[in-house]
Structure 1
């Protein structure tokens, strides 16, 4: 059939099936050998999404919050979210918890790559929304930034959202030390499987309307609970490498 070659939205790069498959394999290899290549991780997510994105869109359409998200298309960046206002919220609110997590991990909401390879504009937004909400999951579940905890969160996301890339990313576990790998599979993976499967589909959450909500109450509403106690104190080199990976 004829492949549409005109971009469907700003930044869109149309692909035929062969180009998509080639990028999927290439990005998978590069992502495994160099997990800090955030551009390749993003490409892997887009080229392997398949039927997962239409399914997530259907889930969003089934809820009032999800439908409003698709209609209003909110973005999560340092220009759309008032970080100073969140920092002034009472301790224990979701907004304060989120901005505190960003500061503690030394990251910003501006590190998420734009979507390029998904042809349907609405599905492209669903993928962008998933990316930009990733740090909300980190802060809500009390997970720092490191390879070990990113893998745990990917297992949670796969169980909750079903995106293939989130499962493929767990291959990075081979790069962990034996002790960290043991802890990952004995403590974090069981938690991620239970928590992700019991939680409300997080793609339907209008997070920007939850800033002032007590974070404990929000966890109960969504059916999630904090991950096993994380080791927040990490060597500076490891922290820097984890931040670069993002």
Structure 2
């Protein structure tokens, strides 16, 4: 349902993301080549052999720890434009890279914090709805932590970092995760 809501409300926001991608050489290349992120294309077994601290090793460690796979993303159904459907697909497929980059856990407050980050990065209505209504599910202690720690971090990092839709993640796997963060202008989320 969340995926369908994201597609149904994405419209002009997907066009805006596409236009931002077209203004960036890597974004244009991504739109032209339309790479997909699957277990096969990411060669997860190879990533498991990379040294600790590389982006690829930390990404696959995240997948393994959370028992998730890049193959489980819902296909795009409700976006008519083939190009904009790809933009939505790419957004979905890169979500777990954002977890690796930001060091946010897969908890309710960690996911909401990541939606705040993504809201600043993409402006997608679904990220706004998750950001504003998701906290209703949190305890008062979790809400305090979200708004006192995670939201300020997400607003600063989301607005000061490179547009992550213009990152060809597949080519960053062997770089140290700290170098990736530096190059993209993202500080890891505070660990509280």
TM class by smaller structure? over 0.9
Is 2:188 the partner of 1:226?
A: yes
- C-alpha displacement at 1:50, in angstroms? 2.3
What number of residue pairs does the alignment pair up? 191
CA-based RMSD of the aligned residues comes to 0.9
Is 2:173 the partner of 1:215?
A: no
- C-alpha displacement at 1:178, in angstroms? 1.2
Distance 2:25 2:149 in 1: 35
Aligned twin of 2:23: 62
Give 4+ residue runs of structure 1 displaced > 6 Å after superposition.
Answer: none
Aligned twin of 1:97: 58
From 40, 43, 47, the equivalent of 2:4 is: 43
Distance 1:172 1:63 in 2: 32
Distance 1:190 1:143 in 2: 14
Q: Is the 8 A contact 1:142 1:227 kept in 2?
A: yes
Flag structure 2 segments of 5+ consecutive residues without an equivalent. Answer: none
From 158, 162, 183, the equivalent of 1:200 is: 162
Aligned twin of 2:92: 131
Q: For residues 101-116 of structure 1, what are the structure 2 equivalents within 5 Å?
A: 101-116=62-77
Give SS of 1:131's match.
Answer: helix
Q: Structure with the greater relative contact order (CA < 8 A, sep ≥ 6): 1 or 2?
A: 2
- C-alpha displacement at 1:79, in angstroms? 2.2
Q: For residues 1-246 of structure 1, what are the structure 2 equivalents within 5 Å?
A: 40-170=1-131, 171-229=133-191
Q: Is the 8 A contact 1:105 1:144 kept in 2?
A: no
Normalised by the length of structure 1, the TM-score is 0.76
Q: Which has the higher helix share?
A: 2
Give SS of 1:228's match.
Answer: coil
Distance 1:63 1:190 in 2: 27
1:201-223 residue CA offsets vs partner (Å, 9 max, x unmatched) = 10000000101111111111111
1:19-75 residue CA offsets vs partner (Å, 9 max, x unmatched) = xxxxxxxxxxxxxxxxxxxxx000110111121111111111111111111111111
